[in-house]
Each structure stands twice: as C-alpha cells, then as structure tokens.
Structure 1
C-alpha cells in the first residue's frame, strides 16, 4: 500500500510490482543497477524477457506516481525524509529516546507514541523477501519492539501504570522471552497493589526461560523480584513525583499528555510497505 500525491491510498497489488517498489525504497535516493534489480526480482532465475519486464514494471509504477528516474546504469527513486514511513518512524524513535535519556518524559511519550502510530502491520507483507529485504524487515520489527518498550517505560515513569497493564499483558504474550516488558509489567502490577500478580509474572517468565532456552532470568530481574517480595519502597519512588506532575498538568491544561496523530503538515506522499 502507498499513498499518491493527494494523500489517497493506492493499492499496487502483490507480486513483482510490490517487490520492485520495496527494492527501490531499500535503496532510496541512490542509483539501483538494472542487473541488481533483475537478480533480486527473479532470485537468480531471470527469464530472457527479464529486462523488458523490468521496464514494464517501472512504467506501471510511474503511472502510480512513483518518482523513478532513469540513469545510465540503472534507476533511482527520489524520496524525501518525510515521504517514507520507515524514516519517519526512525526519526520519532530517535527523538523519543533522546527525550527519555534526558528525563523529559512527556516529550518522550509524545515522540514514541507518534512512532508506534505509524506502524501498519508486518513490514513488507506479501513480498517474497530476499536476503536484503528480510534484513530490512527484521530491523524494522526489532526497532518497533524497542520503541514500544521505550513507550511503556515513559508511561510507567509518568505514573500511568494502571493504564498500561492491559497492553503490557498482550505484549508479553507476544514476546514471552523478552525480559524488559516482563519487568515493566511486574512493576506496573506492584504499583497497582497487585503484588501476587507481579510475582506470578516473574514465575511464568522464569519457567519459560528455563524450559525453552535453559537460562535463568538476569540479575536485574531477580533483583526486582526480591524488591517486590520485600515491598521495597524504591519501586514506587521513581514514579511518585512524575505522577503528581501528570495530575497537575491534566488539571491545568484540561487534557492528558497522550500523543496526537501525525501532524497535518507532513507530506502526504508515503511509500507504505505493509498490510495497509
């Protein structure tokens, strides 16, 4: 799925055309050699008509408004940073992490939430992925996992533990061996007065780690379990000030600090490579 210059969704279909667009976007703003495109479109089993077929596919993409220019050795697609969701996602992620590192939790939550709102399903869905596209797709998936957990971290630090318990439960069910979201869920449950549930999360994760990969939880997670067992006040201390500031902010401004949808000033032309 992609959008035209009017911001309307355009379905270019599956198969070679979608695959070709993905290959161009992987190498956006650089010349992509013709032989490289042929090799990756047909996985080293190109028919005799491959070159003419490639020209036909490029003509069809141009009709959809894709800016592909012909050069001596190949083709180049021109894409501005604001036109590709993958780039926008990474930019928001960078801004969010910077804000998180300097302790600006409101700005961090805003940027990280904006990043996650760009996600439209599994990247490059429906494409017969070669090595390069597979690596790109996995990089995007891992970036999404990290950004989502950073967003949980920001909201947890803001004292929003109760509202993220449900989403965190869903997240750990999808990622049963990732310790960070389990620790976040344990903390959120404990801060919500659900100490037994927090300890159960630890037990379930430990059982999964031992049975599936033969490892014990890390020392950081074991320490968190001990803090919960001992009802250590430090677990609550981190979010107390931020939670009070959050409530004051809501009263003063009459709205919570949740993130708006993408800015209306963004260029609407996007090359979406997802289930759309």
Structure 2
C-alpha cells in the first residue's frame, strides 16, 4: 500500500485507489498516518474528529469508524490489516517508504546535507525528487484538529525550505533560466516570501536581465508594503542597490534558501 498526504489524502496499491471520502474517516486515517508506528489514544482521535463537542457515544462511534477503515485498508490476498488495537488506542503500522511524507523527509534530509556540503548536482536531484512528491496543499480538504493542522503547517514550512535549497543549488550550478521559472511558481503560492524574491532577482541579474530584476524588486516592495505595512528587508534592498550600481551582481553573493 502507498499512502499520500502531500496533497489530497489518497491510498493506492498496484491495482486501484482505495476510496476514503467520508470526512470523519479522512481525519481518522490522516491522524493515524501522521503518527504512524506510534499508538494514538482514543481521546486524541476523538479530539481530532469531533473537537470539543464529541457525541455521547464517541468511543462506540470511533470503534465503528476504525472497523470501516480496516475494511478499506485490507486488500485481497494480503493477510491482516495495518491498524491494530493497542491500549490506550490504535496504531497504524507502516513499512519504510509507504507514506509520501516519510519519503519527503528522507529526501529533504539528504538533499540538505548535500547542499551544505557543496554537492549541488546531487542536491538538485534529491531536492527535486522531494518537491515532486507534493501534489498541492497538504491534506487538502481534511478538516482535522491539532495533529492534522500541525502536520499541515510543518509540511508547508518544510516545502518552503526544500524549494529554497533546491533553487540555491540550481543557482550555484548556473541554471538561472530554469530556477527563474521555479521561483515564479513559488512566488505565486508564497507572495510574501522575501528569499524567493532575492533568488529571482539574482537569476534575472545573472542572466543579463537587469531591468527585470529591478522590476521584481518593485513588485516585492509593493506586496510587502500593501500586505504587511513594512519595508523590504535589508538584504533585499542591498541586492537592489548592487544591481543598480553594477552590470552584474557579484558571483560570491550568498542568499538564504
């Protein structure tokens, strides 16, 4: 089985996609996946599914939902179910590589190490593979509680870090045009992330597109002023000044990914 939460919630095998469409079932599965290979208590699951207003027979209802989920995750010709009852709740046991979030974490860890060691070709390969696992907003449409919401927020920050490192290594390899396209897509999703504006300005400047680099600075300044009531960071203003004063930004300029 393969489980995917880096986008809408999906369960697949070699034959088909297992449907998990009921909202409470989605929250239950998402919570068990986030805490995979660890016991999740009935109280915590109840809080994720119903919040502060559980039904009178919450424990019985939870048992029904778990039973239904077990049926969905039990595949023909495969003994048993990945969900086990273990006091004080339930555990979903996964094998290595079955959850896309775990694969993303491994690729990001190795890619981060490669980037920091200056092995940029390897970093681009690893981080690009990690980014390809994201299909959109994490757990899109799953309205859970603190476990689901916390995971979604963490995964979004990890995606930003991964993208920044990917672009930094791409710039180090001189792939300015390719990285400019990546950054435009990232800024459409994160229009207030200044590091992406810095990287895009650098790509444009090093590609000989100095006027476009300065236009990007103006777009960044306007967005930050309008949304936050602030001025661009010192690093962004300094990069603008260097582009204005020189035909090329110094090659040893360092940007945070």
TM-score by length of 2: 0.85
1:105 and 1:157 in contact (8 A); partners too: yes
- Counterpart check, 1:171 vs 2:186: yes
Instruction: In structure 1, list runs of 5 or more residues that go unmatched.
Output: 240-276
Deviation at 1:2, TM superposition (A): 3.2
SS in 1 for 2:90: strand
What is the match of residue 59 of structure 1? 67
Deviation at 1:164, TM superposition (A): 2.4
What is the match of residue 16 of structure 1? 24
1:157 and 1:238 in contact (8 A); partners too: no
Q: Paired residues, what number?
A: 239
What is the match of residue 224 of structure 2? 209
Deviation at 1:140, TM superposition (A): 0.5
Which of 174, 183, 194 is matched with 1:159 structurally?
174
- Counterpart check, 1:45 vs 2:85: no
Which of 25, 30, 42 is matched with 1:34 structurally?
42
Deviation at 1:211, TM superposition (A): 3.2
Q: Which one scores higher on RCO, CA 8 angstroms, separation ≥ 6?
A: 1
Cα distance change, pair 171–39 in 1 and its aligned pair in 2 (3 A): closer
1:175-214 aligned at under 5 Å gives the runs: 175-214=190-229
Residue by residue, what CA displacement relative to the aligned partner does 1:91-120 show, whole Å, maximum 9, x if unpaired? 111111111111000010011001011112
TM-score by length of 1: 0.80
User: Mean alpha-carbon deviation: is it higher for 197-206 or for 160-169?
Assistant: 160-169
Deviation at 1:233, TM superposition (A): 4.5
What is the match of residue 273 of structure 1? none
Which of 78, 94, 111 is matched with 2:93 structurally?
78
User: Mean alpha-carbon deviation: is it higher for 226-235 or for 121-130?
Assistant: 226-235
- Work out the CA distance in 1 between the residues paired with 2:51 and 2:11: 28
2:200 and 2:213 in contact (8 A); partners too: yes
SS in 2 for 1:82: coil
What is the match of residue 258 of structure 1? none
Deviation at 1:157, TM superposition (A): 1.3
